[in-house]
Structure 1
Amino acid sequence: MIHIIGAGLAGSEAAWQLANRGHQVLLTEMRPLCHTAAHTTDQAAEMVCSNSFKSDDPNSATGILKAEMQRMDSLILRCAEDTRVPAGNSLAVDRVAFSSAVTQALRTHPNIRWETAHATDPDLNHPTILATGPLTSEPLTAWLSAITGCGQLHFYDAIAPIVDRDSIDMDIAWMAARYDKGGPDFINCPLNKSQYETFLDALLAAERAPLHDLDTPYFEACLPIEVMADRGRETLRHGPMKPVGLDDPRTGHWPHAVVQLRQDTLAGEHFNLVGFQTRLKWGAQKEVFRFIPGLAQAEFARFGSIHRNTYLQAPQVLDSTLHVKSVPNLWVAGQLSGVEGYLESAAGGLAAAFAVNRAARNLPALPFPKETVLGSLLHYLAHASTKDFGPTNAMLGLLPPLPDGEIDIRGLKRSGGLRAVKAAKGAAHRQRALASLEAHLRESN
């Protein structure tokens, strides 16, 4: 029997992978017996922040990672494709339908037994994958810290609000994707300079929810909108409110700033404010975000919020297969391991399942190749500097450099500029990654 604790994205993927390989899996989830600061259901793979699995660009890090996961029959990506909603060149889902699909697959699998319980002291006589996520309960966090001899780390993460589609004024807003990539999938609310300044003043003056631990930092890749605004009055125009590539059909020009909203449900009745994660109090959110043209009468299906996330000091604790180096029979997957993002979390669950499958068959550990995006991410977790380690997304910069001369950089610059160079590098990384993965899968079987 293999024990998986946590039915989030990582735990769900791990359970599916192991069950499909013939293992008997006990999947323990504490919800609804115990609640977290962000979850609202007892379903598997609940997406509490964004509803996006990032870019589908085949030559981006996330595009390559998706290809790797699809090659290994990822349950998470299969359910995501089945419940996807329009989002330009990104993979976004109806979060309720997606979670229901994952839950149904797990609960009906003959090799998976679902248990509702609060695990605080796991029995490590069985191979165990800890996939409890960034909102791991305090008792289990204390147990993990004690058994590994390494204190955990924290950061604050925030959630963006969601509004009712029918409350958006489409006489002001319009549908389009940036540079028209992927179709008219986003609702765009334009702001002129005066409107931007008014919104910014209201945002900076609005009341914020108190933080309980002032020493805990924010996650830099997901800063609250008001914290970004604190850094300068032009920060938002170069971040989530950048107007680049969005021609207002009424003027034919880019607006001074823009707020984009992405579809959140298959029926299209809810849209979330892209990049507008916030710690403003709920009353302040309703007041401030209605300063945005097109949202003056916005009805909120969900307000934004902030919560503290937990992650391990991975380079001290984990090896490149997500095994806890000092503790037999224990692996850690998902955001608790130090990756950041839904896609990366699910990929970590897949990798942990591969490692546990080998261990259960008394085979030696076999890390994924560093030439793959998944392998490069896990290698980084195990070998990064402990001095400045923080949650990590999949990035092409984690991959080993391409061989000298493989790409004619000078020629590409002359013919297509830096964009052509970037595309060629991405394509070369993809080709090498998928070839490396095939060789790895042949070796691991």
Structure 2
Amino acid sequence: MSDIKPIKVFGGGLAGTEAAWQIARAGVPVILYEMRPNFLSPAHHTSELAELVCSNSFGAKATDRAAGLLHEELRRLGSIIIGKADNHSVPAGGALAVDRAVFSKDLTETLANHPLIELRREEVRSIPEDDLVVLTTGPLTSHDLAEDLRAFTGLEYMSFFDAASPIVLGESINFDVAFRASRYDKGDADYVNCPMNKEQYLHFWQELCKAEQAELKDFERETAKFFEACLPIEEMAKRGEDTMRYGPLKPVGLTDERTGERFYAVVQLRQEDKAGQLWNMVGFQTNLRWGEQKRVFSLIPGLENADFVRMGVMHRNTFINAPELLFSTLQFKKKPTILAAGQLTGTEGYTAAAAGGWLAGTNAARLALGKEVLQLPVTTMMGSLFEFISSASVKHFQPMPPNFGILPELGVKIRNKQERYGAYRDRSLADLESWKAAVAG
């Protein structure tokens, strides 16, 4: 393969890491560019590849859930991201969560030691004219490259805001009040639950609504648009007194076994690391000033003396208008030797980023080898996601997470939702196996 020109992958997040691995796995040399640590982003804290910023959870594990089905599809396709996630998982009830530091460190070392992967720590400012390129720079694409991409596409970006939740030191949680349990007692008691009565909840809600937010930069203030799946907790509170109680603070299915008591609202924390020392406040992504976060979140019973090892942060995300620009193969319509994957394309979530990296990397390698590019079956979660972002309304396109609503309907009506999702899963995995056999043949 020494006569094959290396493929260039721009961005060392989840999508870029997956893409680079799949290219090398196909026997094609690849240069993976990552600007950190020479140039830092507003959201990242380390120089490792595939750093997880917003959460340590990849979503539900069960294959009759959209995220879990996507996990399984990627496992069967040899995804390095899901493989390492399985290796470094931590208890999280029905979710696939990882020890994020170990996860990213392992991926960095694995790629850096691969003979066909060259890791370059430098910023890319423009798209090369004559190279095979995979763009995976994510929602925090650097200014110069973003300007070059804008000139290449001839279109403006769309923008939204993404926010990360605070992390609490486990030993600072008051377990005289907080208790361990999973909702409806499903699986082990993997979540820490901080219960509230009505008076406590209303006081917390009132203080949250009037808490001071961090000041946005001018360019952010002009373009701010919150993405509904990652809405800051203070924005949720401002939508109404009970909005949080029907969202991340819903008390349904949670009972303190010590007393048998049920509650008006419950704040949940999810384990961040294998040792159980770090706990993420579920659904508490926020743009409050750090002092305000400490003041208001300490009103939560059980977190009165919480030690916040990371405060919540918020940053601007950008994504391209994929339906106008991309094929479902993740190639640019204007120039098929340039491919894109990850949040830059308008897919949402860690697993979707890995899925895009798998397809873009695989197809880039096939182009380098003179083979036909691949399209995944639309009956799979991966295939339906990429079909959606390449064919949705250009005028109203917004980021899309994996979900069963984008899959083609089943041939029969199944009223029971769990059974219906199970049927989607069975069809998806069967079609994926048939597709794999056909491609291999």
Which TM class, normalised by the smaller chain length?
over 0.9
Instruction: Indicate the RMSD between aligned Cα atoms, in angstroms.
Output: 1.1
User: In the alignment, which residue of structure 2 is the partner of 1:339?
Assistant: 347
| 8 Å contact kept, 1:19–1:112 | yes
> CA offsets per residue over residues 360-382 of structure 1, 9 Å max, x none?
22223331110000000000000
User: In the alignment, which residue of structure 2 is the partner of 1:295?
Assistant: 303
Q: Does 1:233 align with 2:238?
A: no
CA distance in 2, matches of 1:320, 1:355: 11
User: In the alignment, which residue of structure 2 is the partner of 1:204?
Assistant: 209
**How far 1:387 sits from its partner (Å)?**
1.9
SS at match of 1:40: coil
CA distance in 2, matches of 1:86, 1:319: 38
User: In the alignment, which residue of structure 1 is the partner of 2:106?
Assistant: 101
* Structure 1, 159-168 or 59-68: larger mean CA deviation: 59-68
Q: Percent identity of the aligned residues?
A: 47
User: In the alignment, which residue of structure 1 is the partner of 2:97?
Assistant: 92
User: In the alignment, which residue of structure 1 is the partner of 2:3?
Assistant: none
**How far 1:129 sits from its partner (Å)?**
0.3
| 8 Å contact kept, 2:7–2:31 | yes
* Structure 1, 311-320 or 246-255: larger mean CA deviation: 246-255
**How far 1:424 sits from its partner (Å)?**
1.3
2:256 counterpart (243, 248, 261): 248
| 8 Å contact kept, 2:90–2:99 | yes
| 8 Å contact kept, 2:127–2:149 | no
| 8 Å contact kept, 1:154–1:309 | yes
TM-score in terms of structure 2 length: 0.96
CA distance in 2, matches of 1:242, 1:162: 20
Runs of 4 or more, structure 1, over 6 Å off, are none
Residue type matched to 2:421 in 1?
G
> CA offsets per residue over residues 75-127 of structure 1, 9 Å max, x none?
11111111111100000111101111111111111110110110011324221
CA distance in 1, matches of 2:108, 2:428: 31
> CA offsets per residue over residues 389-438 of structure 1, 9 Å max, x none?
11110011100000136x4x4xxxxxxxxxxx112111111111112112
CA distance in 2, matches of 1:181, 1:5: 41
User: In the alignment, which residue of structure 1 is the partner of 2:199?
Assistant: 194
CA distance in 2, matches of 1:270, 1:169: 14
SS at match of 1:283: helix
* Structure 1, 118-127 or 202-211: larger mean CA deviation: 118-127
> CA offsets per residue over residues 190-210 of structure 1, 9 Å max, x none?
000000011111111111012
Q: Does 1:391 align with 2:399?
A: yes
Residue type matched to 2:408 in 1?
P
User: In the alignment, which residue of structure 2 is the partner of 1:134?
Assistant: 139
SS at match of 2:329: coil
User: In the alignment, which residue of structure 2 is the partner of 1:412?
Assistant: none
- Gaps of at least 5 residues in structure 1 are 410-420
User: In the alignment, which residue of structure 2 is the partner of 1:437?
Assistant: 432
Residue type matched to 1:441 in 2?
K
CA distance in 2, matches of 1:437, 1:25: 27
**How far 1:328 sits from its partner (Å)?**
3.6
Residue type matched to 1:93 in 2?
V
> CA offsets per residue over residues 31-60 of structure 1, 9 Å max, x none?
011110000111000001111000011111
User: In the alignment, which residue of structure 2 is the partner of 1:33?
Assistant: 38
CA distance in 1, matches of 2:62, 2:133: 35
SS at match of 1:425: helix
Residue type matched to 1:431 in 2?
D
User: In the alignment, which residue of structure 2 is the partner of 1:53?
Assistant: 58
User: In the alignment, which residue of structure 2 is the partner of 1:259?
Assistant: 267
CA distance in 2, matches of 1:354, 1:254: 50
User: In the alignment, which residue of structure 1 is the partner of 2:294?
Assistant: 286
| 8 Å contact kept, 1:203–1:288 | yes
Residue type matched to 1:263 in 2?
Q
1:64 counterpart (65, 69, 78): 69
SS at match of 2:309: strand
| 8 Å contact kept, 1:147–1:327 | no
| 8 Å contact kept, 2:26–2:362 | no
**How far 1:63 sits from its partner (Å)?**
1.3
**How far 1:13 sits from its partner (Å)?**
0.6
Q: Does 1:145 align with 2:140?
A: no
User: In the alignment, which residue of structure 2 is the partner of 1:176?
Assistant: 181
| 8 Å contact kept, 1:164–1:300 | yes
User: In the alignment, which residue of structure 1 is the partner of 2:226?
Assistant: 218
**How far 1:249 sits from its partner (Å)?**
2.4
CA distance in 2, matches of 1:248, 1:387: 48
Matched residues, number: 432
| 8 Å contact kept, 1:51–1:92 | yes
| 8 Å contact kept, 1:150–1:317 | no
1:365 counterpart (373, 378, 393): 373
| 8 Å contact kept, 1:130–1:332 | yes
